[in-house]
Amino acid sequence: MKKINSKPFNHLTDEELIRFIQEYSGLKVGVLTGGGDAPGCNAVFQGILDKAEETGYLVVAFKDGFYGVVQELPKLSDALWDAPIDLSMRGGTIIGSSRVNPSKVFLDSEGRVIEKRDYAAKQENREAYVSSAIQSLGLEGLILAGGDNTLSAGCKLSALNIPVVGIPKSIDDDYGFVYAFGRHTSVDRAVGMVDYLRSTAESHGRDIVVEVMGRKCGRIALDTGIATHADIILTPEFEFLSSAVFNILGNNRKQGKRYNVIVISEGAVSVGGEEEYSSKDSDGYGEKILGGSGAAFAKKLSQFYRANGFGDDIVRSQQVGHFHRSGNPNEADRVRGYKYGVGAMELVLNKEWGSMIGYMNGLYISQPIETINHLKRVSDDEYDAQRCNTKLSVLHINGS
């Protein structure tokens, strides 16, 4: 028996693909990934596809997130049909992603959609295009796998009675109450880097400063720091006093420690200091691109060591950057991603539009998509601002 989600024929043009979907008489649901990719996206698709096959749904994938939805003629992908058998194991997203938001689409001089924000360009609200694409293709609704930008757009679409279901994706794990797939692998990448760098730090007696991602939320830094027993952990939630941190590290050396490990979020700021930016350009959200907090900290620490007689050339910095989201997902994100895909299809089957799947306290749950608006930041219960490290108490932390 032929699978529902298999290519009807090869080398489809956009028009032929749209016509095939429009003429398909069975149940249909759309899917897209928005924002930065995260390990586990393809595992999500595998879960969606398996549940879709079981329940008789054709899965219609939009290319490059909302970019593929808000066109005059939708851009679709047939990459999920006859998907490779190792789909869950693959990193990235095989249907592509972008940061296009339907409530504020940017157009070039010829009226074509621009994938990144350009405030000098013409702006247009194209939320109606999402509804039109769903209706013209005969879809029951749209599954959105994404972070704050994508699921915040989902909140607005839901308020307009456009049928959407959300799946939380974030390497920062900064959602209010649920796990976001991608987080485990992103921390694994940072932990692996610190583990490798320890050997050279020990060999040369150098402090190593590792900068991890985290604009407003320091969960990657905190977990990486705990897992690698870092001497100092610096997060965006707590401004740090440089002199106090330098004294902690200097005292470690006075007591015979050969090297120190410092883990710092890209958004961490010292008292009286400012965020560090890697360029003057803005990202797809219109925000300046962070980067350089680790190098800036390392430079100041080197000056402190030199001024206090500890020696020269004893500090190095390394930025994890996009290595966080690279490569294949680990076991946790494969399993969570897969089950999130299955769960999203269950929401579709139950007509729970305006909901998102979530994992909390060992259970997979349904909750309103508006949950995306609650940022889960590092709290006073978890972080010791005096030691610039994790608190040595855990029983009183609720929900961790």
23 and 148 housed in the same domain: yes
**Does 118 score more than 80 pLDDT?**
no
Lookup: tokens for 87: 């789909």
Does some domain include residue 27?
A: yes
69-73, 188-192, 376-380, range with the lowest pLDDT: 376-380
The model's confidence at residue 175, banded by pLDDT at 50, 70 and 90, is: low
Does some domain include residue 342?
A: yes
**Does 186 score more than 70 pLDDT?**
yes
Specify the CATH number for the domain of residue 251.
Answer: 3.40.50.460
> In the chain, how many H helices and how many E strands?
9, 18
Does some domain include residue 68?
A: yes
Work out the percent of the chain whose per-residue pLDDT is above 70. 94
- SS3 (DSSP) at 22: helix
- How far, in Å, CA of 193 to CA of 224, rounded? 10
**Does 376 score more than 90 pLDDT?**
no
Last residue of a domain, one of 326, 348, 383: 326
**Does 176 score more than 70 pLDDT?**
no
pTM of this prediction exceeds 0.85:
yes
- pLDDT on residue 173: 66
- How far, in Å, CA of 267 to CA of 189, rounded? 19
- Tokens 């907090």 locate to 293
- How far, in Å, CA of 68 to CA of 71, rounded? 6
Per-residue buried b or exposed e for 293-318, using 16+ beta carbons within 10 Å of the residue's own CB: bbbbbbebbbebbeeeebeeebbbbb
Closest-CA residue to 74 (of 103, 26, 113): 113
Last residue of a domain, one of 326, 354, 382: 326
Judge contact between 84 and 90, C-beta under 8 A.
Answer: yes
138 and 198 housed in the same domain: no
Q: Mean pLDDT across the chain, nearest whole number?
A: 91
264 and 364 housed in the same domain: no
Does some domain include residue 305?
A: yes
Lookup: tokens for 115: 């994938």
75 and 152 housed in the same domain: yes
Give the distance between the most distant pair of CA atoms in the chain: 78
Specify the CATH number for the domain of residue 105.
Answer: 3.40.50.450
34 and 167 housed in the same domain: yes
φ and ψ at residue 253, rounded to 5 degrees = -70, -40
- SS3 (DSSP) at 225: helix
Arithmetic mean of pLDDT, 310-336: 94
Work out the percent of the chain whose per-residue pLDDT is above 90. 76
84 and 39 housed in the same domain: yes
221 and 284 housed in the same domain: yes
Q: Which domain holds residue 23?
A: 14-181+329-373
Arithmetic mean of pLDDT, 113-132: 90
Q: Could you give the residue numbers annotated as active site?
A: 172
- pLDDT on residue 174: 65
Arithmetic mean of pLDDT, 214-241: 95
- pLDDT on residue 373: 65
- How far, in Å, CA of 158 to CA of 16, rounded? 30
Judge contact between 372 and 156, C-beta under 8 A.
Answer: no
Does some domain include residue 47?
A: yes
**Does 263 score more than 80 pLDDT?**
yes
**Does 307 score more than 70 pLDDT?**
yes
175 and 41 housed in the same domain: yes
- pLDDT on residue 287: 65
25 and 125 housed in the same domain: yes
**Does 400 score more than 90 pLDDT?**
no
Number of domains in the chain: 2
Lookup: tokens for 312: 């020269």
25-34, 129-138, 146-155, 390-399, range with the lowest pLDDT: 390-399
**Does 285 score more than 60 pLDDT?**
no
Last residue of a domain, one of 263, 294, 326: 326
222 and 194 housed in the same domain: yes
264 and 305 housed in the same domain: yes
The model's confidence at residue 246, banded by pLDDT at 50, 70 and 90, is: very high
Arithmetic mean of pLDDT, 50-62: 97
- pLDDT on residue 386: 95
Does some domain include residue 382?
A: no
**Does 219 score more than 70 pLDDT?**
yes
